Amino acid sequence: MKCVYLYHFAEQVIGQQRHYVGYTTNLPRRHAEHTNGQGAQIFKTAFNRKIGVSLVRVFPNGNKSLELFIKRGVEAHCPMCVMFAAAEFQLAEAESELADEEI
């Protein structure tokens, strides 16, 4: 199956990078390589530093142009980052409501 896939790392691995977007025709083989620290430097570094990595999204029938599109705004396509951003927004709202009540 051709697909584009997205990995989210538990913390920043290289510089600011905490995602990997790729394209493959064999996701099971690629996943096995990546989770063993192979296939790209970011996986090797994460593997050696024991940083957790999760396959968080698969785009079936994706192609190279979709891969490039996802790479340009990866956080908006990552369900983990979208969830964290929503929680941080709700926390900020809750804090601002508390501040209003204290007035």
Angle at 80 between CA 75 and CA 85, to 5 degrees: 70
| Cβ(57)–Cβ(6) below 8 Å | yes
Return the number of the residue (68 or 82) whose C-beta is nearest Zn ion: 82
Q: Which of 61, 79, 62 is nearest to 8 (CA)?
A: 79
Taking CB under 5 A as the rule, which mask of x and - marks residues 62-91 in contact with Zn ion? Answer: ----------------x-xx----------
**How many residues bind to Zn ion according to rule CB under 5 A?**
4
7-66 binders of Zn ion (CB under 5 A): 8
Binding site for Zn ion (CB under 5 A): 8, 78, 80-81
